[in-house]
Amino acid sequence: DGGITQSPKYLFRKEGQNVTLSCEQNLNHDAMYWYRQDPGQGLRLIYYSQIVNDFQKGDIAEGYSVSREKKESFPLTVTSAQKNPTAFYLCASSIEVGRAYYNEQFFGPGTRLTVL
Amino acid sequence: AQKITQTQPGMFVQEKEAVTLDCTYDTSDQSYGLFWYKQPSSGEMIFLIYQGSYDEQNATEGRYSLNFQKARKSANLVISASQLGDSAMYFCAFQGGSEKLVFGKGTKLTVNP
């Protein structure tokens, strides 16, 4: 079955530690995205990548870093510079960039990060 | 910058009745798309329905339909014959020239038996 996997589902880390969230897709999608969701809020874009070895900052990129070495993978690192990292993180992918306005994003199941 | 507004933090509906979830947007783009997603308590985002700005007909997908009023910049989701499993958060999202999705803050729908 094609889809997006995120691991782990729950993650606990001590304050000041970097942590990497995994996102893998086997949909052969070009574009991948990372979102953050806080309680009672919508999704906010952290980073996105339209092609391998290229990525752009979203609206709240400070304290986060990403890489896109393979089409299938788009890991997100939450660094110690992120002031309030406890949140629900969602990864998404879409088929291609530039497709005229029907660029549905498919989402993974999410990772809930808690910093102690 | 585009802005999406969902004015209803929470909505209640009786099972088998219809419910409308509101969404308004603000944009100067001529071509754009509007999406609705459902988020159950488990957290995953489930795509429900899409409306393009040039689509002449309102979008429909099973029990979901979109009441698109372009001049008023609104794209309300209508769920007919509500079921208990429809209880979830519902998010409206806008996609314009930048191709990024901008999400509203969501509406929590509770379906009562």
Per-residue model confidence as pLDDT tens for chain B (113 residues) = 678 999 999 999 999 999 999 999 999 888 899 999 999 999 999 999 999 998 889 999 999 999 999 999 999 999 999 999 999 999 999 988 766 889 999 999 999 99
- Please indicate whether, in this complex, the C-beta atoms of A98 and B99 are within 8 angstroms of each other: yes
Residues 19-58 of A with CB under 8 A from B: 33, 40-45, 48, 58
Q: What phi and psi values does residue A52 have, to the nearest 5 degrees?
A: -55, 140
Q: How many interface pairs between A and B have CB atoms less than 8 angstroms apart?
A: 59
Where does A26-116 show beta strands of DSSP type E?
31-37, 43-51, 54-57, 64-66, 76-78, 87-94, 106-107, 111-115
A63: left (phi over 0), alpha (psi -120 to 50) or beta: left
CB atoms under 10 Å from CB of B3, counted, come to 11
Show residues of chain B in contact with A58, CB under 8 Å. Answer: 100
